[in-house]
Structure 1
Amino acid sequence: MPVLDLIIFIVYMLGIVGFGISFSFRKRTSSDFTTGGGRLPAWAIGMSIFATFVSSISFLALPGNAYSGNWNGFVFSLSIPLAAWIAVKFFVPLYRKLKSESAYFYLEQRFVTWARIYASICYLLTQLARMGAIMYLLALPMNALLGWSIPMIIVITGISVVIYSMMGGIEAVIWTDTVQGILLIGGALACLFVIFFTIPGGVSEVFRIAEQSQKFSLGSFELDFTTSTFWMILVYGLFINLQNFGIDQSYVQRYLTAKTEDEAKKSTWLGSLLYLPVSFVFFFIGTALYAYYDAQPGLLPEGLTGDKVFPYFIVNQLPVGFTGLLIASIFAAGMSTVSTSINSSATVILSDHFSKYIHPNPSERLSLRVLKLSSLVMGLLSIVVGLAFNGVTSALDAWWALSSIFSGGILGLFLLGLLSKAKNPHAIFAVILGVLVIGWMSLSSVLVKSGMDESLANPLHTNMTIVMGTLTIFLVGFGLTALFNRKTS
């Protein structure tokens, strides 16, 4: 590795970890650790929301997705503005009014304790899967660059994030996210410009090859939910993003860090709308890489595809200095999301479990101790999950599948509480049925291989699991409520 690239990367790692740790020297309460005392500026919160969106899943998997296929995955980003509008209109005011550090406090108020426990456990499982996928993708470019083993890189980066997340709290997370968000935007744009200026034939050649190979296609517009069509990805993206804004602790917690409700709304718009053009850049990088190696086929080793193409380009085709910048950008993207997940998971453990069932009304000192210990435990577990990701064909597909399963349809439960007069028994029955639907859709392919009749297999695309689970819970609960209300009348 050239000395300049190594210096850039080391300076970034030491700088960001040191910056995060610096927040631990301030006198803080548990509220400071989880919500920053509600005094953070809207622009920084918005950058943090954006940086949470743009993980290494985006930085590496989106270009890999565009390189291997087309722009079908970009349709996911198109659903974000609608989800953000719903969040600003309904979700932000709701959580600001409740003034609870937990996103799942509302479910307990609307139903009873079981709903809060169920939703918080689903959230913790989702975050473990997400952090594992991110740390695995972080390891790919360093493995290509230095030859270090992927497991060792996962462990080192995981521990680095855990240190400042555990010590600095939400303020460290948001301010480091802000720095990292700026860095990853600069790194992505720098990479795109390098491709444009080094491909034989220039920018026009990128568009010619991409159009010839139908790389800009958004997928089939048939109303088909069994394959990855435009409509399937759009519906999936809308449900995932509604879940992010409506019931994801990572986002809800940020609504509470703002000074006012209007500031929280501004930060939500900034973070969500900034992701749209940046994800466009990531997909364009993947398409440009396809054109770059199609025009110069001898540059790419045979058999190298998918998520590993972009790291290979960074290591072998970028000028000295740019490689260090891009490696730092990838780490910025991943570390920002992992630190957010660690902090929000620790908040869930304290608010939804420890304070309710183990030690009600804990002291400030005990609360801070639990938050730090929970941060450490979740960070270490995420490292284990990251090691389990080693060797998957597509980290993006694996993450989308796991997020659908672990979501548990909690968005459906949330909407049921928000939009209906459902009683607790109706909600319980609806969730049980929703979990059965999610289990069947997730495991049907395995059951078919073990001898189950193929006619009983899930006919829909894997990503529709979260959609059908959510709709099952909401529609069944809504239907039971209407039915029993009519009988009562």
Structure 2
Amino acid sequence: MQPLDWFVLVGTLALIVGYGVYKTRLRVAGELLSGSKHVSLWTIGLGIMATQASAITFLSTPGQAYAEDMGFIQFYFGLPLAVILVSAFFVPAYRKMSAITAYQFLEQRFDRKTRLFTAALFLVSRGLAAGITIFAPAIVLSAALGLSLNLMVIVIGLIVVLYTVSGGSAAVAVTQKWQMLTILGGMGIAAYLLVDKIPVSMPEAYDIAGQMGKLHIINTSMEMGTRYTLWSGLAGGLFLSLSYLGTDQSQVQRYLGAENLSTSRFGLLFNGVFKVPMQFGILCVGVLLFVFYQFTQPPIFFNESEVKRAPIEVQAELSELEKFHANSFAAKREALLIGDWAAVDAHKETLTQIRESYIATLEAHVPNFQRKDTDYVFITFVLNFLPKGLVGLLLAVIISAAMSSTAGEVSALATTTYVDYYTVFKGESQRPKRTIRLLTFMWGLAAIGVALAAPLFENLIQLVNVLGSLFYGTILGIFLVALFIKSVGGKSILMAGILGQLVVFFCHYLNTMGIISLGYLWYNVIGSVTVVATALAFHFWFRRGTVYG
């Protein structure tokens, strides 16, 4: 990177962090937990979106569209309905009892054991996810900038810890608005530059993308193992979104920080209206990247740091493959310009074979080789084709996204630990601000620890969503019973929750072993339905035996 890029990168991050620290330097303990009640409608709405839009969104999503198609958008098809249901049922229940966390509601409705069990599921799932949201940008930025992975993890983690510890939930709320605006502005610039650099008109560009299978959006397959379909998006996506927006403290904390019910609902509805178009726009950036790399030769393998690890004795073989790739790419480009699709398809097949040979060579000679490179597609374009200054801005966008989502998660983890465990077992702290900040610091270090130990997954955004789906179904099932089945008591729901979680874990084990084929979004449906059904079964069983449940 050039000095100007470093200046823009460091300056942007310093402004965001400094603003958050300054604006929240005198906060009281209550605002560290739930944020200031005097925030605007737009701050709540953008804050909810920013907590969801991690760096993984902006690194992995374009790579998915580049490598596959736009089918990932189906993941969000259940979101708008989920927003309406959460606004109608979940938010009023929480605000009625002036809850700080969602899990306080469960003790009022059932008992303390259910509250502690459900809070524990959240702490485990969100604690792991917080580490991944640090690890994701760190591994890509370290490879792109040539810096140590562990160093990048620690730097990003400590930046997050600094302003989250200083201002708690309030700091997260006031900075997320500006982080989100920076993120959207940066992605808009990237899209504009891609359009400018593609040597054909936009109708022609999207015709090329369509001819090459990149504009597939809807998949109506009934195969349960297909990852993204219309049905998994509507059903599994609905259950996942309901649990995430209605029961995940990192989201609940954002809208409970609003002054009144209408503001909370506005924040959620804002997210329901703009989230899907935002994700669609990011996928469109991935499609534009694909078209751009049909006219500008891409690397055979986008993760250059893995290529550099190849031993000297195989470099000649790799260089020979790179020459074949360059010749075949030039021929495909010429065929594309004259519209000879038969020749394009033939050269495309040749390029695929060359890439597979290249990867196989690396895999055979590089220890612990990571063959998935889709998370590096967007960052490669940023580093190689953006003007000076804009490289720094786009890197600031990626790190800002990591900061906004991780800070929201760490703040929520600290809040839940303090409200649902510390005050339950030890009572209110004599020095609450110090205790909350200490818990925030400890969860920040824990997230850094998870990031330092995290393995690279097939696709980072999928890893985060799989982690959520493993736990969200059970949590949602507990809340659905709490809200809609008033006759079921604490003993029945606790046993149902434990059983539901075990069922999801067992399904995931069978899935990973190849015994069954199941898209991970269905875990949310399985967990929720299992909890609701078994809670009713236990309730009627105990009632027959005259035991309240």
**TM-score normalised by L of structure 1:** 0.92
Give the equivalent residue in structure 2 for 1:338: 406
Partner of 1:379: 444
Contact 2:511 / 2:518 at 8 angstroms: preserved in 1? Answer: no
Q: Structure 2 stretches of 5 or more lacking a match?
A: 304-372
Larger deviation: 309-318 or 390-399?
A: 390-399
| Aligned residue number for residue 113 of structure 2 | 114
Distance 1:237 1:403 in 2: 11
Contact 2:247 2:476 in 1 (8 A): yes
Name the % identity: 30
Cα-to-partner distance string for 1:237-284 (whole Å, 9 max, x where unaligned): 211110122111122222321111111111221233222221111111
Question: 2:428, 2:454 → 1: CA distance?
Answer: 39
Q: Alignment RMSD, CA only? A: 2.0
**Deviation of the 1:289 alpha carbon:** 0.9
Q: 1:315 to 1:258 in 2, by over 3 A?
A: same
Find the aligned partners of 1:256 and 1:390 in 2 and give their Cα distance.
35
Residue 472 of structure 1 pairs with residue 539 of structure 2: no
- Is 1:211 matched up with 2:269? no
Q: 2:219 & 2:121 partners in 1: Cα distance?
A: 32
Which protein is bigger by CA-based radius of gyration? 2
Corresponding position: 1:417 with 2:444: no
How far has the Cα of 1:64 moved from its partner? 1.4
Q: Is 2:375 the counterpart of 1:307?
A: yes
- Offset at 1:218? 2.3
Paired residues for 1:3-402 under 5 Å: 3-26=3-26, 28-228=27-227, 229-296=229-296, 298-302=297-301, 304=303, 305-357=373-425, 359-363=426-430, 365=431, 367-402=432-467
Q: Deviations over 1:342-363 (max 9, x none)?
A: 1111110100001111x21323
**Matches of 1:482 and 1:200 in 2, distance apart?**
68
String of CA shifts for 1:362-391, please: whole Å, max 9, x gaps.
Answer: 23x2x2112111111111111121223343
Structure 1 unaligned segments of length 5 or more: list them: 449-453
Q: CA deviation at 1:146?
A: 2.2
Q: Is the 8 A contact 1:95 1:252 kept in 2?
A: no
Quick one: distance in 1 between partners of 2:82 and 2:67?
A: 28
| In structure 1, distance between residues paired with 2:173 and 2:24 | 14
Distance in 2 (CA, whole Å) between partners of 1:190 and 1:486 is 65
Paired residue secondary structure (2:257)? coil
Deviates more, 1:313-322 or 1:428-437: 428-437
Deviation at 1:37, TM superposition (A): 4.2
Count of residue correspondences: 475
Aligned to 2:335: none
SS of the residue 2:65 aligns to: helix
| Structure 1 position 484, deviation (Å) | 6.2
TM-superposed deviation, 1:140: 4.1
Deviation of 1:483 (Å) = 6.5
User: d(CA) in 1 for partners of 2:398 and 2:11?
Assistant: 15
Q: Is the 8 A contact 1:34 1:347 kept in 2?
A: yes
Whether the 8 Å contact between 1:342 and 1:375 is mirrored in structure 2 is yes
Contact preservation (8 Å) 1:441, 1:462: no
Equivalent residue, structure 1, for 2:360: none
Of the structure 1 ranges 378-387 and 190-199, higher mean CA displacement relative to structure 2 is found in 378-387
Structure 1: distance between partners of 2:433 and 2:415:
10
Kept in 2: contact 1:72–1:233 (CA 8 A): no
SS in 2 for 1:104: helix
Q: Deviations over 1:146-195 (max 9, x none)?
A: 21022210110100010100011222111100000101011111111111
2:183 and 2:398 in contact (8 A); partners too:
yes
